[in-house]
Amino acid sequence: MRRTCFRYTAIALTCSTTLAMAACSDDDAAKGPGPADAAPIDSAVTDAAQADAEIDVDALAERRVALLLAQMTTDEKIQLVHGTGMPSIGWGTFPPEALSGAGYIPGIPRLGIPKVSMADSTSGVNVKNARVTALPSTLALAASWDPQLAQEYGKRIAIELRTLGYEEGLGGGINLAREPRGGRTFEYLGEDPVLSGLLVAARTTGTRSQKVIATVKHYAMNNQETNRMSSNSLVDERTMRETELLAFEIGVKEGKPGSVMCAYNKINGTYACENPYLMNDVLKTEWGFKGVVQSDWGATHSTSQAATAGLDEEQPGCPDESMPACTGRSFFNGKLKEAVTNGSVPMARLDDMVKRKLRALIQAGIVDAPPTPGGAIDEAAGNAFALTAAQQSTVLLKNAKPAGSTENALPLAAGSLSSIVVIGGHADAGVLSGGGSGAVPPIDGNAVTGCQSPPTSPVGRCATWYKSAPLAAIKAKAPKASVTYFDGNDAAAAAEAAAHADVAIVFATQWETEHLDLPSLSLPDAQADPYNQSYDQNALIGAVAAKAKRIIVVLESGSPVLMPWLDHVHAVLEAWYPGVRGGQAIADVLFGDISPSGKLPLSFPKQDADLPQPVISSDLDVKYSEGLLIGYRWFDAKAIEPLFPFGHGLSYTTFSYSGIDARAESLSGNVTVKLTVSNTGTRAGTETVQVYATLPPDPVEPPKRLVAWQKVSLQPGRSEEIRISFPAKRLATWDVATHAWKINRGTYTFTAATSSRDPHGLSKSVNY
């Protein structure tokens, strides 16, 4: 058989890498790729490429895609646009190279197209029997307000995905916390679209850097678990564009993910994975997304309608539609081939689906360098990063002076403590994590045993606890103190011990999981969560607070928490789900080895009734009646005082702002806010300066919106002038008449502040 292969080699001088590209014609399809020296070189292409110092890598990728597509049969094309089941649960028939995970698409060896194994990877690789790193939750990451940390977060997970042999990570959740009681709030990045969008873009960049396909999800308006697979989000165009779709727009344009996962729910009557407005009009046409639109697992409901609306990949799919389990749930295998044959799905559309898959694989670097399964995870490196992330994510919510003291309750001075009482929250065993696909299995077993999930429940009800005990870390910090532990079941005994101790540290927990929403933001008791909770946490904290000389509450939660006891405790530390080194990180902050720098990525209400939805809607029609007023915007517009505002977070030092100025560029309209930040305390610390914009009067626009922020680290007594720049588009509103962004004429006021409710923020106005 005559071999007709073309090999193009282009040296990209700007990045000092070599891009080798090869493809073979149909008459050599059976033999597969031959040796490089057997292929004649297309010298015209090679010479032109090598002569250009700035190679257009995207154009070269498009050339490869076209060459590969030209050699593929229809069956091979169909093979690339659907999964073949779920290896992690053994549903489907898989070859040896199919890794345990969420999904698998076989490769085409004769064309050098690799297989794609996918794993859930919200805060680490969610596969069993692998010694992977459980990082702090993504909500904790959001509390760092640190894009560089987010990039390293995505990179760390991608390193472990690739080490194990996975080509795609299914992390990147970006749905806004419109409903903070949502069971997946811990998986997302808070309530603000700019904060969420920029952090997911940074995370995506980190993932891509390791030759792993990054996914962002769940597109879109997938904001609660109740009826999530059948609910219909009723939301107007402006609300969509200025809230959740803005987060996706930033994430897609700046992060350039290879995959966007469409959601289970309907939007205005049309399923997300059949929604041409979302997929074709906005994502692909307006935003220019070149990657794959992938269904959530089981979110496909049709063949022709979904394909023509813009869905490119069905998951989990079926290996063989003759399997009984595939009846009525597989749409992109034989049914898609039939639709292409009869013309209801044009061949050009199937080709576009395949091009997107090939493009994602090539641009990620997977075609040229497929991952090799079976590598060993660098546990030391993973644990070190997990500790850093947890330290930077911890938020100090309150820090007051106990009676008779001249110092705040925190940080603790080990040398001055003779007795410490640690109470509740399984602090003697480990730290809490979330459940569902956002979980990461513990590598050495669950730190807390004895929970029995009901056999009839479709949802696992037992929490995961990592073996990073805060109690042990606290003992190590204060080796000369007497440290005792009470499990919280006997509130009277714990309170009596606290009365005689120098300090009482109460741990409180709130478990969340996919599939289940929280009934309330109140700390769960044995009635609310009988599987993981044996006592009334609020009553315990109240009892201890009544007798303790100094009481500190440490929260491990995936959402805001109500605090009826707040006025009676001296300090509150929000640790979120802090990951595999969480116990150490908590102790580091408690004892002042780390000064807390986290800021809230969502508002903490005083009561559930203060939320836009006093209770979670169980109606199939979920009405977004609050419009643009998500999170802090709601509290501002309705003049409701939150328990703790968006952006709030204390430090062990103090900061002041001065000398604010704001200017807009005459041509672009881009804005730069300048001010001086000073560390006025006695310790080194890191401050996050937040810039909020108040727009010209508008009947539905909230009082202010976050437009930018910057972190600055200062030694005590030092000052630094900082410049915070952001694009004019952050000031735009969505015009439903023209279906476009616009910047209205008028006065814009920019406020540099420590939170959304900072009474001492500095403001400067600019006229547009």
CA distance 130 to 68: 35
What is d(CA 301, CA 298) in angstroms, rounded to the nearest whole number?
8
pLDDT over threshold 50, residue 24 = no
Residue 128's domain spans which residues? 72-364
Return the axis-axis angle of helices 379-393 and 147-164, rounded to nearest 10°.
150
**For residue 97, pLDDT beyond 90:** no
Provide the 3-class DSSP secondary structure of residue 457. coil
From 541, 568, 600, give the residue that closes a domain. 600
In degrees rounded to 5, what are phi and psi of residue 537? -70, -40
Assigned domain for 348 exists: yes
* Residue 510 resides in a domain: yes
* Residue 92 pLDDT: 80
pLDDT of 28 higher than 80: no
Same-domain pairing of 570 and 662: no
Task: Tell which of 600, 631, 661 closes a domain.
Answer: 600
Residue 373 has pLDDT above 60, yes or no: yes
Looking at residue 164, what DSSP letter applies? H
Asked if 305 and 437 sit in the same domain, the reply is no
Same domain, residue pair 412 and 324: no
pLDDT in tens, 542-551: 999 999 999 9
Give the lowest-confidence range in 7-16, 303-312, 347-356: 7-16
Question: DSSP 3-state assignment of 281?
Answer: helix
Q: Between 46 and 307, where is the model more confident?
A: 307
Q: Which stretches of 600-758 are DSSP H helices?
A: 632-637
62 within a domain of the structure (yes/no): no
User: Which of 600, 629, 657 finishes a domain?
Assistant: 600
343: pLDDT strictly greater than 90: yes
User: Is the CB of residue 731 less than 8 Å from the CB of residue 695?
Assistant: yes
Q: Are 521 and 608 in contact (CB under 8 A)?
A: yes
pLDDT at 53: 41
Q: Are residues 350 and 431 in the same domain?
A: no
Residue 670 lies in a domain: yes
How far apart are alpha carbons 334 and 509 in whole angstroms? 48
Instruction: Return the DSSP state at 114.
Output: P
Please report, to the nearest 10 degrees, the dihedral formed by the alpha carbons of residues 225, 227, 229, 234 taken in order: -100
Among 120, 146, 192, 296, the one annotated catalytic? 296
pLDDT at 457: 85
CATH number at residue 311: 3.20.20.300
- pLDDT-derived band at 55, boundaries 50, 70, 90: low
Task: Answer yes or no: is 60 within a domain.
Answer: no
Confidence grade of residue 8 (pLDDT, cut at 50, 70, 90):
very low
Mean pLDDT of 199-227: 97
| Amino acid occupying residue 363 | Q
Residue 613 domain flag:
no
Q: How many CB atoms lie within 10 A of CB 62?
A: 17
Assess contact for 143 and 598: CB atoms under 8 A. Answer: yes
Tell me, yes or no, whether 432 and 293 share the same domain: no
Residue 421 and residue 431 in contact, taking contact as beta carbons nearer than 8 Å: no
Look up the CATH number of the domain holding residue 493: 3.40.50.1700
CATH code: domain of residue 655: 2.60.40.10
**Average pLDDT, integer, range 640-669:** 97
* 323 and 439 belong to one structural domain: no
Measured CA to CA, the distance from residue 336 to residue 342 in angstroms comes to: 10
> Are both 554 and 514 inside the same structural domain?
yes
CA dist., res. 255 & res. 243, Å (int)? 18
* Statement to judge: residues 27 and 81 lie in one domain: no
Q: Is 146 a catalytic residue?
A: no
Domain count, the chain: 4
Q: Report d(CA 515, CA 493) in Å as an integer.
A: 37
Least confident stretch, 17-31, 569-583, 611-625:
17-31
Query: pLDDT value at position 328?
Result: 77
Per-residue model confidence as pLDDT tens digits over 220-248: 999 999 999 999 999 999 999 999 999 99
Average pLDDT over all residues of the chain: 92
| pLDDT value of residue 458 | 83
Rounded to whole angstroms, how far apart are CA atoms 647 and 755? 4
Decide which of 162 and 1 is more confident: 162
- Per-residue pLDDT of 62-91, as tens digits, reads 999 999 999 999 999 999 999 999 998 888
Are 517 and 486 within one domain? yes
Percent of the chain with pLDDT over 90: 88
Q: How confident is the model at residue 23 (pLDDT cuts 50, 70, 90)?
A: very low
pTM higher than 0.85, yes or no?
Answer: yes
Distance (Å, whole) CA 198 – CA 220: 17
In a domain, 551, yes or no: yes
Please check whether residues 708 and 656 belong to one and the same domain. Answer: yes
Which tens digit of pLDDT belongs to each residue from 98-133?
Answer: 999 999 999 999 999 999 999 999 999 999 999 999
Locate 699 and state its tokens.
């009947």
Tell me the C-alpha distance between 377 and 94, whole Å: 25
Residues 190 and 322 in one domain: yes
C-beta of residue 33 within 8 angstroms of C-beta of residue 5: yes
Is the domain of 28 the same as that of 164? no
- Kindly state whether residue 310 falls inside one of the protein's structural domains: yes
